């Protein structure tokens, strides 16, 4: 059973996109091909709450090839690619996702996935995990464990654990080195530029770009903007990250100061209310705002979309908001993930690493759940290392090994 927008044309387009992505995700493809003969997931129902993109289709089809029954929904109301959803549904995967959902429809889709009674969950933002913990319809459902893909979801899962309410183990895929150092930095860095350019089609060179937050995502976004010739300003609350941004050659200042200088604003924090009404009112006429954190809480989009003098979509995924002070400012993707709403998300090569971590973490839970405590854990080191080895092999990169003399030296006091 599925609920998607579907047509023969969409299915054909989705199949071509899936094949294109899989041909550029050799790490994940190799992992699937290595395991599929033994069907290690046979008899297991997996529930996925992820952005339904061409890259995600490779993970979901791979889980099916390994024997799993797969049910999935979108990780955001605006990020589902309808051709991919239609293709997956045609392949026997239970899909509840379409582009342009209301919040109520988005919530309903998560319900449908949980009604399949999955024993392992893979989440991006923790909406499914939170529902599995606190919705009375699902809180007694037997779940062996879960994985979490993104920074915002990790924050929420930590809060559940800190309250002593975590009822199954959760592997934090986002914390794997082969995830956040590459997906968050290189993936988001490139796809953010892609999303902004598709939405506005303006010159990046010479513009003052304010990057809000200098975690792994902010680092990647700042580096790519700098590479496009932008003058980058960073705002931060963490003194170590602020110092790093300064040493990397970027201007660092409070948001109240950056607000008056920026031409383009990119929020990368995972935190709420980092661009507020008082900031927006001080912006230049023509300033452009967008967010690449998981949730639409970083920019005060309610003030922009509901309390402006007028709002109109002037380009796909770009709203012009005329403020009561007469200034025009612009918001990409209604404050949701600009790199997915206005573009296609991360390139397949980098998602291959993230999704290899996901599939191997699912296998780890299935094998070890009886001895795992109801706690959050990082991706086991052996999985993280294996993904790095597989990635180097896929890229035909060779490295050195320690000589016997070096091993002896390293073990000597």
Residue set of the binding site: 53, 124, 149, 179, 183, 215-220, 236, 339, 346
Q: How far apart are CA 258 and CA 283, in angstroms?
A: 9
State the binding site for substrate.
53, 124, 149, 179, 183
* Distance (Å, whole) CA 268 – CA 86: 31
Binding region for NAD(+):
215-220, 236, 339, 346
């Amino acid at each position: 059973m599925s609920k998607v927008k579907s047509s023969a044309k969409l299915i054909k387009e989705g199949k071509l996109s899936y094949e294109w992505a899989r041909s550029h995700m050799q790490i994940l493809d190799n992992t699937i091909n290595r395991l599929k003969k033994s069907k290690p997931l046979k008899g297991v129902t997996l529930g996925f709450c992820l952005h339904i993109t061409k890259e995600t289709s490779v993970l979901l089809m791979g889980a099916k090839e390994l024997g799993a029954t797969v049910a999935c929904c979108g990780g955001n109301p605006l990020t589902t690619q309808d051709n991919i959803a239609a293709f997956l549904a045609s392949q026997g995967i239970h899909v509840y996702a379409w582009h342009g959902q209301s919040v109520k429809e988005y919530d309903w889709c998560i319900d449908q996935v949980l009604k399949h009674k999955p024993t392992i969950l893979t989440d991006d933002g923790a909406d499914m995990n939170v529902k599995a913990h606190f919705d009375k319809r699902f809180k007694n459902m037997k779940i062996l464990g879960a994985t979490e893909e993104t920074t915002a979801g990790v924050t929420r899962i930590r809060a559940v654990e800190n309250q002593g309410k975590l009822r199954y183990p959760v592997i934090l895929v986002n914390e794997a080195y082969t995830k956040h150092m590459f997906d968050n930095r290189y993936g988001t860095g490139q796809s953010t530029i892609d999303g902004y350019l598709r939405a506005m089609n303006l010159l990046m060179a010479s513009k003052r770009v304010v990057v809000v937050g200098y975690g792994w995502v902010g680092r990647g976004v700042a580096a790519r903007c700098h590479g496009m010739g932008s003058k980058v300003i960073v705002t931060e609350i963490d003194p170590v990250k602020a110092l790093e941004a300064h040493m990397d050659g970027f201007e660092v200042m409070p948001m109240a100061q950056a607000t008056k200088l920026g031409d383009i604003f990119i929020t990368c924090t995972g935190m709420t209310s980092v661009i507020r009404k008082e900031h927006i009112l001080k912006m230049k006429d023509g300033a452009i705002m967008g967010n690449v954190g998981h949730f639409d809480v970083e920019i005060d989009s309610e003030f922009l979309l509901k309390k402006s003098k007028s709002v109109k979509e002037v380009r796909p995924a770009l709203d012009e908001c005329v403020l009561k002070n007469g200034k025009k400012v612009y918001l990409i993707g209604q404050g949701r993930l600009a790199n997915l709403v206005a573009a296609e998300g991360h390139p397949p090569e980098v998602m291959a690493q993230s999704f290899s971590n996901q599939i191997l973490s699912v296998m780890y839970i299935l094998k070890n759940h009886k001895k795992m405590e109801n706690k959050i854990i990082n991706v086991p080191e052996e999985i993280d290392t294996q993904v790095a080895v597989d990635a180097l092999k896929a890229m035909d990169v060779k490295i050195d090994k320690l000589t016997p003399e070096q091993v002896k030296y390293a073990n000597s006091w």
